[in-house]
């Protein structure tokens, strides 16, 4: 399995982003992609089996049940690129269906080397598969995969687990347009998206009683301590999940329990938090079915098919590039 490094100096990039986010004048924030170091990747795997977090099971049920009809709608031969594959467990169903008809190149694109390694271990036993992993950000990785494909090959891009919802609605649209520009007419995008549901159910999904999601969120401060020599006292911050009615999203924050100053030497700054002040770390926007059809059209795709889970409102959308 080949992997490619993300940037010349990932620690410097991390330091610059932490500094930019924690010195904002209003709401402090940190990019959600930094939740996924080795510890965060392992904690996300635990989140995905929590009873309160129905998303992963819904996604998996849809892929298992409909893998063959999804694959039947794709031209051959098809190269598969998966954005943010994580462990790749759910992807097995699609890959097995594709590998039943052709030798298949599968290219997971991940910011987390831990996730890439898990993904290869998880899927390498499938017959007729060749796995080439890319340790890259989504768009860079997809450009690289697209540039390597041969003229007769089609692309299937997988963006599962409802990861698209971490973008706000307009950024999600811009992101899909970026993907569309890399694709050719007839290429496919399989997009897993969580749908609107009751607010208590949503809040439980992002604030489980066992505290795994809290640990996942707090690990971001622990990561800053580990990689940027900071002195965050994790006991002085708490995980908060809140529903933003205007954005129709669940937000994760880290709330300072008291006024405190934290030094982050490797990023050359200190930051003061007031009691109750929060750092916004992630948002998960919830979509309606008609919104997804509009999203496809506005980004230059047609929605070829949509499958909905009957236990947890979740949509698997097959978009074809026009
Ligand atoms: C919500 S998890 C979903 C994992 C998996 N697709 C699933 O459905 O369980 C998001 C994954 O995307 C990866 N990721 C986050 N931001 C990324 C970025 N900018 N570029 C590439 N990968 C990213 C993370 O490392 C993580 O494994």
Quick: pLDDT tens for 161-200.
999 999 999 999 999 999 999 999 999 999 999 999 999 9
Residue 1 has pLDDT above 80, yes or no: no
Give the residues surrounding ligand 1 with Cβ less than 6 Å away.
33, 36, 44, 48, 56, 84-86, 109-112, 115, 137-138, 160-161, 163
Residue 6 has pLDDT above 90, yes or no: no
C-alpha 47 to ligand 1 mean position (Å): 13
> Greater confidence, 226 or 2?
226
pLDDT on residue 9: 87
Q: Name the residue of 44, 80, 163, 282 to mutate for ligand 1: max ligand atoms within 8 A of Cβ.
A: 163
pLDDT on residue 321: 98
pLDDT on residue 4: 52
Task: Give the closest residue (by CA) to ligand 1 atom 14.
Answer: 84
Per-residue pLDDT band for 218 (boundaries 50, 70, 90) equals very high
pLDDT on residue 212: 98
DSSP letter, residue 195: B
Residue 97 has pLDDT above 90, yes or no: yes
Q: Return d(Cα 278, Cα 107) in angstroms, integer.
A: 37
Q: How much of the chain exceeds pLDDT 90, in percent? A: 97
Mean pLDDT score, 25-42:
98
Mean pLDDT score, 66-90:
97
Per-residue pLDDT band for 7 (boundaries 50, 70, 90) equals low
Please give the backbone phi and psi of residue 313, each rounded to the nearest 5 degrees, phi first.
-55, 110
Q: Which atom of ligand 1 is nearest to the CA of 163?
A: 1
Residue 88 has pLDDT above 60, yes or no: yes
pTM of the model: 0.97
Question: Which tens digit of pLDDT belongs to each residue from 114-155?
Answer: 999 999 999 999 999 999 999 999 999 999 999 999 999 999
* Cis status of the peptide bond prior to 255, with omega within 30 of 0: no
Strand residues in the chain grouped as ranges (E): 28-29, 78-83, 104-110, 129-131, 134-135, 154-159, 188-194, 237-244, 249-256, 260-264, 269-273, 278-285, 301-308, 314-321
Task: Give the closest residue (by CA) to ligand 1 atom 4.
Answer: 86
């Amino acid at each position: 399995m080949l992997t490619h490094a993300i940037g010349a100096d990932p620690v410097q990039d991390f330091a610059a982003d932490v500094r930019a986010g924690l010195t904002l004048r209003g709401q402090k924030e940190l990019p959600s992609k930094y939740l996924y170091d080795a510890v965060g990747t392992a904690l996300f795997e635990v989140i995905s089996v929590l009873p309160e977090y129905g998303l992963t099971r819904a996604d998996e049920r849809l892929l298992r049940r409909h893998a063959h009809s999804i694959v039947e709608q794709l031209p051959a031969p098809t190269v598969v690129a998966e954005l943010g594959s994580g462990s790749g467990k759910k992807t097995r169903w699609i890959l097995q269906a594709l590998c039943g008809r052709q030798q298949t190149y599968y290219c997971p694109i991940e910011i987390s080397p831990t996730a890439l390694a898990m993904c290869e271990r998880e899927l390498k036993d499938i017959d007729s598969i060749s796995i080439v992993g890319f340790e890259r950000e989504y768009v860079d990785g997809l450009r690289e995969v697209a540039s390597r494909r041969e003229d007769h090959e089609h692309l299937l891009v997988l963006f599962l687990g409802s990861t698209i919802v971490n973008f706000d609605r307009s950024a999600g649209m811009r992101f899909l347009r970026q993907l569309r520009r890399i694709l050719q007419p007839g290429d496919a995008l399989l997009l897993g998206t969580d749908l609107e549901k009751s607010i208590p159910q949503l809040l439980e999904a992002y604030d489980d009683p066992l505290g795994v999601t809290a640990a996942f969120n707090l690990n971001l401060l622990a990561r800053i301590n580990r990689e940027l020599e900071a002195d965050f006292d994790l006991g002085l911050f708490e995980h908060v999940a809140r529903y933003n009615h205007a954005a129709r999203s669940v937000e994760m924050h880290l709330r300072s329990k008291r006024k405190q100053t934290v030094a982050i030497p490797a990023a050359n700054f200190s930051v003061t938090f007031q009691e109750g002040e929060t750092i916004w770390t992630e948002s998960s926007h919830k979509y309606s079915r008609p919104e997804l059809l509009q999203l496809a059209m506005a980004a230059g795709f047609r929605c070829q098919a949509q499958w909905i889970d009957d236990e947890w409102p979740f949509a698997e959308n097959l978009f074809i590039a026009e």
